[in-house]
Amino acid sequence: MVAKLVFSKWQATLMAPVTFIYNLAMPFLFRLFIPGFKEAYFPALLVFYLMFSLSISLEMQNSAGISRLHLPVTARQVVAANFLFQATIVLFAWLVATLFVTLSPRGTFVPGIIPKASLVALLLSGITTGIGNLLPPKGYQLMSMLVFIALIFVTISGGDANFLPWLSLPVALGASLGGFTLAMALSLLCPPRFV
């Protein structure tokens, strides 16, 4: 049933093709016109933008509530689906960024930036989803936008020589998997009543 819920969320996302294409195209348009998006850390911005824009746009469509009306599910199943949907969004963002870097000239971007950015995105998506389960939709949207703005600021202010040089890939892997799993476990232990 959880898999059906995740599928219904992607279905709701793809049922609004204009919004989906808009979300997919915006970071590339930003790259054309905004100086900060033209730097070697662009793949990280791409991952972060896709993660937050897709989750926020889905929340605005209120598909979680729609899914629940059509499927006999429990609050815990809805919470689990929310987390797994976020994980699939991060996977999708990773695939798009990897494809873009593969098609770009060698040496254009910071080496190894996509795995680290994707792991940071996974950790933050777990945290924001866990907190977001306790907030009304507008509160979740506001929180997600603030986290996204903070991520953009940290990425751009770090310069293009290296992406989060103080964070190694093994530490990022452990922190993201541990943090995401912990946030999901806590949310499943105490699921919100209104989900």
Which residue from 95, 84, 85 is spatially nearest to 13, judged by alpha carbons?
A: 85
* Most confident segment among 51-55, 61-65, 123-127, 137-141: 123-127
CA distance 100 to 172: 22
Distance set, CA 93 to CA 2, 50, 71 (Å):
21, 6, 28
Q: In angstroms, what is the C-alpha Rg of the chain?
A: 17
Prediction pTM value: 0.85
Least trusted range by pLDDT, from 31-45, 47-61, 107-121, 174-188? 47-61
Q: Any residues with CB less than 8 A from the CB of 84 and at least 6 apart, and which? A: 2, 6
pLDDT of 40 above 80: yes
CA distance 112 to 165: 11
Judge contact between 8 and 67, C-beta under 8 A. Answer: yes
Judge contact between 180 and 88, C-beta under 8 A. Answer: no
Judge contact between 68 and 8, C-beta under 8 A. Answer: no
| pLDDT at site 27 | 92
Question: Residue 134: pLDDT band by 50, 70, 90 thresholds?
Answer: confident
Per domain, the residue ranges of the chain are: 2-189
CA distance 20 to 61: 12
Could you read off the pLDDT of 135-190 as tens digits, one per residue? Answer: 777 887 888 888 888 888 888 776 656 777 788 889 999 999 999 999 999 988 88
Could you read off the pLDDT of 96-127 as tens digits, one per residue? Answer: 999 999 998 887 787 788 999 999 999 999 99
Question: Residue 14: pLDDT band by 50, 70, 90 thresholds?
Answer: confident
Total Cβ atoms within 10 A of residue 142: 13
